[in-house]
Structure formats: structure tokens, C-alpha cells
Structure 1
């Protein structure tokens, strides 16, 4: 029987409420990974699964130290056990897409890394976590998942880490891939997923994650944005900055003027958009203001790749080349 590693980090999938009718008022990260596994005895027929607890928190409270531990454990597990079929991660949905994208950029192994979560706590009527976990294991064991990088399995759909995002605050169908749709789906018949084509590029495969990470805030675009926010970031000497621009990543006149007037060294900066989907293209002012387009990455994923670039010591041209090359 194939072997899998289950890494638990908490979230709603491990959450508990006072009664089964409560869907919103609950505490995330209560149950351990062993309890999640025990709640789905059907998994015993699929694989031999070992469980490790990386964290047990609401994913809104996830920290860089948790990311560092997660990446280190996956790398070590793959290096130590050539027969390990893959890794499944239980995760809160609030920042699940960011962790998936981080792993896509860092884990250089063809074996699947599958993230699952839940929109309802484990104690709820019709809790979605057990089925998501079962289907995540199905995907992790499938030969079609090899070479696909980090995958997210939610509500029977299989999503690519780069494209998936959480689009709703409630409902089991809260996750989608707006630009491309899901890669495939999984049901009681099996895993429906096209085989990966070619070698996958892992730009930060050799990056060792330090204890101290750079500061990279996200500035949100809106009507008459507060100039103190951008000024405070620049004065604080942040290493990177992501703009959640309006429309196709547009900055206001006030924001552009603040950048132009800044006398010091500008941080490495990306322009994303707040629309939820669609690409941000290069602008004639980008070079002059020190900005880069984030392409099709949403703000939170743009921040992840910017963090990795800063940790790797990349310059503006290297980061631009990576984003431009992304499909």
C-alpha cells in the first residue's frame, strides 16, 4: 500500500462549534491531524498515512515560521523517503491559496503536494472537511497529479496553485480559478486530471528560508487613498511593496506623485489589481516609478513571489522575467 504524509496546520477543517447547526461561530484549529484522519476511516483503504502537526491555528494567524517549518518538513520527507507517494496538507481557507503558491515556488519534486481545507467546521451538519480530505488523498495518490506542483482540492475540484483563489466567505464552492477554471475534478469514480506536460520550473527550489523575513506590505487602492499609508511604508524602509491597484492595477495621481517625490531608495514594487481576475500589463510609467506588473497574480500571491525574490536577493529584472514567463 502506498504511503502518504499528512501535515496538519489547523483551520476550519479542524474547527469546532458548540452545536452542529453553528456554521459561523466556531473556533478554528481545535482538532489535531490524528482526529481528522480518524474521522475518515475510508482512508485506511487508500494508503498508509502518517500524521504530523505543523501548527493548529486559524490560517489568518499563520506566520512565516509556520511556512518555514512546512517547507522544511516537505523537503526533508521527500529527500528521506523515495517511496513516499506524496504530501497532503490540511489548512485553513483564509490563506490557503498563499501557502499553495509558496509551495509551488519552493518544492522541486514531481510527487504531489495537495492542500485541502473546509468551509464548515468539523462539528457542522454536512461538514465538507472529511470529503475534501478523502478526495485530496485520492488526488495525491494519482499518477496524473505527478509533476503538477502544488494542488488545491476543494468541493471536488482540483485547482492549480497559481490560479486558485477564495472568492466567497461562505459555501462549500468558495474556491475557483477565475482565469482558467480548475485543472480537473475528483469523485467516486476517480481522479479526472490531464497528465502534466513537460518539466515544471521551480524558481526558488534551492532557497533556504531564514528566520527573519523582509517587510512587504500591501497597499489597497480606493477613492482618495490615505497618503500616510504609502508614506509610512517608504519611511519605514520596507524591502518590498505590493499595490492593489484599481482597474487594471492603476495607481492614483497621489500615489504616483508620492513615489516620484520619494528621495530615498525605492523598494521592489509590484502592481496587482483589486478586481479579482484579469492581468495587469506594463505601463509607460512603470520604469520611471520603479514599478513592475504582477501579471495575473492577485495581490496576496504577488506578495509571496516578491518575498521569495527578496530572500533570494533578486533584482527588478530577474523578478520581471519570472512574472513575464508565467502562463
Structure 2
């Protein structure tokens, strides 16, 4: 079936945080040509639901992108990999490794689909999708127009892209084209990978990333979560230096000559939020960047804990945390 339509569907199985909410309609898209421009409004595009939390019943239509297909071409200098939006990201990383195509191993075990990867500009352990993304192909849901965005047109930033802009809501990513240079060096300059050294193999990097992520991040099948709830804030270097006067051990990573990235988990930890519980929502006892659904979470409880964390960080550090997770209310995106 190329287009499956289900009315009044439960959303708990469709997003990894697992709040028990409903949507008026679910449309599952397996073939692009089957999609009509006359869609129920509002609508929300969904892959595997690893970066979206449905806070309450959604009054519109969920468009679940199930487009499949992978094509690999080899040139003299690189590999061109065309991937349909509905493919699983981690499975793609495993496939690339098996074929001797390297670079994506640092991004192993990041949940979600390939189509969601450019929206968030997924990144981990010293690499980001933007490094390999040649272009993104898309479909305009209102006009039926086929679109293509070059790397520069995607306006990639830290966990950001043009696809997050409100005016891009009718744009459904259908395919991502990735280029991996044959002479790419392994990246082991970040965190736990430093112990591997510069002579590590891509498979060793992959295994270390998977091991580390499994130790740090809870399994959504056990405790509902959406991974890192907040972005790591980027602040002015002068602000960072002033914070060091009061907090000498505050970590920071230089972004450029004017800015420093500060780990949000460190800020949250220092304020005592580890293990804090509001209703059915908890701040993870080992990784405070992750908020957990302990089984009975409501959207209001999640907002209450997230807003308490953000307010406390702003009060003590003069830093405003931004949510990395997309929060969905009855009509669409909700601001934290």
C-alpha cells in the first residue's frame, strides 16, 4: 500500500517520549506519487518520532514519511550516497561501514530517519551531517513542486537548518544526497574518542561511539525519552570568562575567537536537577540533559520540569537554554 490513512490514531507508539496522546489522522507515505496536495490542515511531518514530543492530542494530520531506497555511486575521489527520507539513520551508518565508506561512524546510534537528519543537522563526537550533505531533495506539500537545496542553501548551523524555519513547514524532505571523500581521516579529537588515538580504524570509532552512547543514554523502549532535551548553549567568550570567576571548573569549548560552547548537562547538574521528578517526568540521574517519561508522563509535567530547569539556569548563569526537542501541541509547534 503506497498511502495508508488511519483516523484517530494513538501517538504514544509513534514518538519515543511516549506520552499517551492522539492525532485526528495518520497518513503513511510509502510512494511520493500517491500524495495529494489536498491535505487536512494542520499537518505535522514525522519520521521515527525521536525528536518530537506530542504534549497533547494533535488536532491535525500526522504525515509519516516511509520512503525507502539507497543508491551508492563511486567516483575517483568520493562515494555519492542517495538515501530516501524514510531510511533509518543508524542502519545507514552500518551499511556504509560494511561497504568501506567512512566518515559517518561518529554519528552512529543517533536515532531517527535520514530525512530528519538535515533538519536537526545531527552531530556527535566532532562531526556533523553538514560535512557530508551535498544536497537535500524535497516536496512542497501545498503545490506539489519538487525542490532541491544545496548544502549552502540548507543554512546548516549547530543543531539547526533552514528546514526549522516556520515558512518551511510545507516542505517534506524526500531524499538526502551524501558525499564521502575516499581519503577522509578518522575523527578522534572529541571526548571518549581521544583514547583511541589518531590511528584508530573507523570500525573502532563506531564501536566506541555505540558503547558510549548506550552507557550515557537510556533506551526509549525502557524509559520514554527524546535524547538530549536541550542544546548546548553557545555564549560570548567574555560571558564565559566572567562565569569562570564564580565557577572556576565550568567547562567550555572554543567555537571561534568570540564564542564558547558550554555543556548544558554541566549547568543542569550544578543546579541539582539530576533525579528530580515532577509527576511522571524525571531528569535522568546520570545524564541530566535527558528528561524521562517514567510511564505516566503528561505534556504539562514535561513543560513544568523543562521550564524549571531553563529558569534556574538563566537565574544562576545568565544563559537561556533552548530546547533541541520539538514540542507539539494541539495545533503544532509550542514554544518552551
Same fold (TM over 0.5): no
Normalising by structure 2, we get a TM-score of: 0.28
Normalising by structure 1, we get a TM-score of: 0.29
Larger % of helix: which?
1
